[in-house]
């Protein structure tokens, strides 16, 4: 079967050298074609292997151990270029956890951050974590949440480029969050997503009183992946999901390609691909885009 081993370094680091690419190619079976996607940053090694791709990936990781390079070995098929992007928001598309930022503004940051951390590690159920945190920030006025969005929420490196590039090449892009539509609406517009989904905060007389149910958690994220694929009349193999936390696992597992980006250990281990060094543009390299194709 034909495979592609993609090597990705952090943008502008020039950490990926021709010598490293040659060393990587030397441990792969047969004739290897090296295709540079971005000088010093990303290259694709095309090869044929009658064995399991996991064996080739193990060899590559052993050879490049300790080097600041992400490695992904994937089948070389027409489904490499995805037509549907489903992305988590908090700590994935943006660098923050919205509810932690709200809590910090409300003066209960440490308590809420502890709950969030336990939930992201999979040690606390999503619904229980949500309700505990909402109770702590209840009473906050709506204007404070608007200030959080304006002053504290920032797109992660490569987020807008990822979305805009996939859009330009015909993909449908949706932001699906266990966070709140108050923020997904804003972040979706900043990054350029076609659609967004999240949990609805409830306000009374301008103050936060709760969150609507049913909540969007782990199972609901996967359901939204299925729904968007059906809506776009696309097979799941043409879908790409990206996330970082435990409630993204079902979505990542069900997508044609599930990518963990700077994720919690459990998620990084379970995802098809784990990005530890690159930014969100790594998802474009995995699909075979060259840097010259990027919409910056």
- What domains are there in the chain, each with its CATH number? 1-76 (3.30.70.1520), 82-296 (3.40.50.1000)
Stretch 184-211: mean pLDDT: 97
pLDDT per residue over 209-238, tens digit each? 999 998 998 999 999 999 999 999 999 999
Quote the pLDDT of residue 118. 84
Catalytic residue among 88, 244, 250, 279: 88
User: What are residue 23's phi and psi, to 5 degrees?
Assistant: -65, -45
Name the strand (E) or helix (H) holding 4: strand 2-8
Residue 181's Cβ-count burial label (10 Å; 0-12, 13-18, 19+) is middle
Catalytic residue among 70, 90, 100, 279: 90
pLDDT per residue over 118-146, tens digit each? 877 778 888 888 899 999 999 999 999 99
Nearest Cα residue to 208 out of 142, 143, 150: 142
Instruction: Starting at the earlier edge strand, list the strands of the sheet with 195-199.
Output: 195-199, 172-180, 84-87, 239-243, 257-261, 273-275
**Catalytic (active site) residue 88:** yes
pTM of the predicted model over 0.75: yes
**Catalytic (active site) residue 135:** no
CA atoms within 13 A on the CB side of 184: 22
Checking if the pLDDT of 113 tops 90, the result is no
Cα angle value 39/44/46 (rounded, 5°)? 145
β 201-204/195-199 pair status: unpaired
Quote the pLDDT of residue 112. 87
Quote the pLDDT of residue 125. 84
């Amino acid at each position: 079967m034909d495979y592609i081993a993609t090597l990705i370094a952090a943008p502008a680091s020039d950490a990926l050298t021709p010598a490293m690419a040659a060393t990587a190619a030397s441990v792969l079976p047969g004739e290897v074609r090296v295709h540079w996607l971005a000088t010093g940053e990303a290259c694709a090694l095309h090869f044929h292997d009658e064995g399991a791709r996991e064996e080739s990936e193990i060899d590559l990781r052993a050879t490049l151990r300790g080097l600041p390079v992400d490695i992904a070995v994937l089948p070389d098929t027409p489904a490499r270029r995805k037509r549907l992007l489903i992305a988590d928001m908090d700590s994935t598309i943006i660098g923050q956890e919205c509810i932690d930022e709200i809590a910090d503004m409300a003066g209960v940051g440490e308590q809420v951050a502890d709950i969030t951390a336990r939930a992201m590690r999979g040690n606390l159920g999503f619904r229980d974590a949500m309700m505990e945190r909402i109770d702590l920030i209840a009473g906050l006025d709506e204007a404070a949440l608007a200030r959080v969005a304006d002053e504290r929420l920032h797109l992660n490196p490569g987020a807008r480029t990822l979305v805009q590039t996939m859009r330009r090449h015909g993909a449908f892009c949706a932001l699906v969050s266990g966070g709140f539509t108050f923020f997904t609406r804003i972040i979706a517009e900043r990054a350029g997503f076609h659609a967004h989904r999240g949990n609805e905060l409830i306000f009374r007389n301008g103050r936060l009183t709760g969150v609507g149910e049913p909540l969007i958690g782990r199972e609901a994220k996967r359901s939204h992946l299925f729904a968007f694929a059906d809506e776009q009349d696309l097979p799941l193999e043409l879908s790409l999901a990206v996330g970082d936390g435990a409630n993204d696992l079902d979505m990542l597992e069900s997508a044609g390609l599930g990518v963990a980006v700077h994720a919690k250990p459990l998620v990084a281990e379970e995802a098809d691909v784990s990005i530890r060094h690159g930014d969100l543009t790594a998802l474009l390299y995995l699909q075979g885009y060259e840097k010259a194709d990027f919409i910056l």
